[in-house]
Amino acid sequence: MKKKLSVSLLSLCIGLSSAAISFSADARDITIYYTNDLHAHVSPEIIPYISKTRPVGGFAPISKIVKDAKAKEKDVFFFDAGDYFTGPFISTLTKGEAIIDILNTMPYDAVSVGNHEFDHGHQNLVKQLSKLKFPVLLDNVFYSGTDNPLIKTPYTIVEKDGFKIGVIGMHGVSAFYEAIAAGVREGVDCRDPVPYVKKQLEELKGKVDLTVLLAHEGVPGMQSSAGEADVARALKTDVEMAKTLAGYGLNVLITGHAHKGTPEPIKVGDTLVVSTDAYTIELGKLVLDWNPKTKKVDSYNGKLITMYQDTYKPDPETQAKVDEWENKVKKITDKVVATSPEVLTRSYGESAPTGNLITDALMYKVPYADASFYNAGGIRTELPKGNITYGDVLSMYPFTNDVMSVEISGKDLKSIMSHAADLKNGMLHVSKTVKFRYDSTKPLVNVSSNLISKASRLQMTPSIP
């Protein structure tokens, strides 16, 4: 059912429902397909919180839907809001090159940049993204100490049969500094996007029929999920962005980073905010009834298409490229490195087998250490029951982190545990040599940290009963 953006006084007077209102015969249906946070999930897979029996996702089925739509209809557009790198091993092993090659077989009109495109450094980002056959947009990341933008194109105008959409790309400040390691982002800075987006919207006035912002931003919401359950994040930041840009003519805000889908668009003034649940689980579709007389959107209809493998066929060109790259890395990724009698799940809100495995592995790597720590957000998937391949491990742990060994005091350990206890959006995985407990009704200074060393058990503070 389409949502009305405006209702005439005449309609109110005669008591017509919105469903009965007719539009101008020459109104245009503008269709916008969108993705975000693809995270290199190039092939369909079982995602337990979607279905335990039906594989879902993949680049090729999404590609086919949009290609078919573009072949049948004139007013079809396709955009992505960033984070196409990092996830399954195919991205990590190729530093994103495979993903770029596959994306080039898909009918995108423009994409923005997410934090994970920086995972192999900003130099690699520029190198890989320069190979894309469609515009890459980013308006607020600059080389440090300069006004020289990392990406030279802040916006573009996409035209289909005389209809023009102005598309802008931006990156959120918190998503940049909190989600990209300091060493990786060294040499580039992210600035407040608001003045830059306002500038681009002003420049686009009178030049386009519709404006779209591709944003990669947000603050994580509550993360509590065992196994493969999704990381839910609120879209509050995007709603606030839409409010901030009120009066500047922004029609659609497609957002990434949140991993939070919008079954129906969120209407904020004259702006529609939309997003998918990430990992190619869904393809977003937004249909706008655009009135050429008023130059405005009269109504809209939005939905998320769940990409079940048994429902949607792959695009042959995209699938061939996926197969090509998967075969290239197969010799490495198919090697069995371990077996497990059960599935090793992950969790963002509690202790989990994968977190225990990683922290114990760190202790094995540095045998003289008393304790090890790892962030829950760095664990990207679970490990299967039975044979575990190198590819499985790399998909679970895709970041090329260095193992750091440091000396800390008992006071520092207590501070770390206090911080961990106060986390609202995840948890800190610790090795089996560390135990801590706290009373949630008391200030966090009452955290009790116990370090169990090889020689003795050192209690940092009296335990809380």
pLDDT, residue 1, reads 54
| Co-location of 232 and 345 in the same domain | no
- Residue type (1 letter), 314: P
Per-residue confidence in pLDDT tens, the chain, 465 aa: 555 544 333 333 333 333 333 344 568 999 999 999 999 999 999 888 899 899 999 999 999 999 999 999 999 999 999 999 998 889 999 999 999 999 999 999 999 999 999 999 999 999 999 999 999 999 999 999 999 999 999 999 999 999 999 999 999 999 999 889 888 999 999 999 999 999 999 999 999 999 999 999 976 544 333 433 334 456 889 999 999 999 999 999 999 998 889 999 999 999 999 999 999 999 999 999 999 999 899 999 999 999 999 999 999 999 999 999 999 998 888 999 999 999 988 877 778 899 899 998 998 888 888 889 888 878 878 888 999 998 898 888 887 777 888 888 878 887 887 777 777 667 788 888 887 776 767 665 555 555 554 433 333 333 322
| Co-location of 76 and 149 in the same domain | yes
Within-domain flag for 465: no
| Co-location of 362 and 412 in the same domain | yes
pLDDT, residue 167, reads 99
Is there a contact between 385 and 349 (Cβ–Cβ < 8 Å)?
A: no
pLDDT, residue 225, reads 36
Within-domain flag for 76: yes
Domain holding 430: CATH number? 3.90.780.10
DSSP 404-425: ------HHHHHHHHHHHHT-SS
Q: How many CB atoms are closer than 10 A to CB 387?
A: 12
Within-domain flag for 464: no
Is there a contact between 37 and 276 (Cβ–Cβ < 8 Å)?
A: yes
| Residue (of 321, 286, 111, 71) closest to 213 by Cα position | 111
pLDDT, residue 349, reads 73
* List of residues 6+ apart from 277 with CB closer than 8 A: 230, 259, 260, 261, 304
Tokens of 435: 């135990």
CA–CA gap between residue 170 and residue 194 (Å, rounded): 9
Domain holding 61: CATH number? 3.60.21.10
DSSP 439-455: -TTS-GGG-EEEEE-SS
- Residue type (1 letter), 173: V
The residue among 272, 294, 326 that closes a domain is 326
Is there a contact between 391 and 334 (Cβ–Cβ < 8 Å)?
A: yes
| Residue (of 125, 104, 130) closest to 115 by Cα position | 125
Within-domain flag for 8: yes
CA–CA gap between residue 177 and residue 95 (Å, rounded): 21
Q: Which domain holds residue 381?
A: 335-459
Is there a contact between 166 and 211 (Cβ–Cβ < 8 Å)?
A: yes
| Co-location of 264 and 320 in the same domain | yes
Alpha-carbon distances of 25 from 29, 44, 91, 135, 289, rounded to whole Å: 11, 41, 47, 33, 11
Cα-to-chain-centroid distance, residue 103: 16
| Co-location of 65 and 86 in the same domain | yes
| Residue (of 293, 285, 288) closest to 261 by Cα position | 285
Structural domains counted in the chain: 2
| Co-location of 393 and 282 in the same domain | no
| Co-location of 320 and 343 in the same domain | no
| Residue (of 150, 109, 114) closest to 132 by Cα position | 109
| Co-location of 399 and 348 in the same domain | yes
CA-based end-to-end distance of the chain: 57
| Co-location of 128 and 276 in the same domain | yes
pLDDT, residue 443, reads 62
| Co-location of 313 and 352 in the same domain | no
The residue among 264, 291, 326 that closes a domain is 326
Tokens of 140: 């607020």
- Residue 304: left (phi > 0), alpha (psi -120 to 50), or beta? beta
| Co-location of 432 and 349 in the same domain | yes
The residue among 259, 293, 326 that closes a domain is 326
| Co-location of 195 and 340 in the same domain | no
Within-domain flag for 273: yes
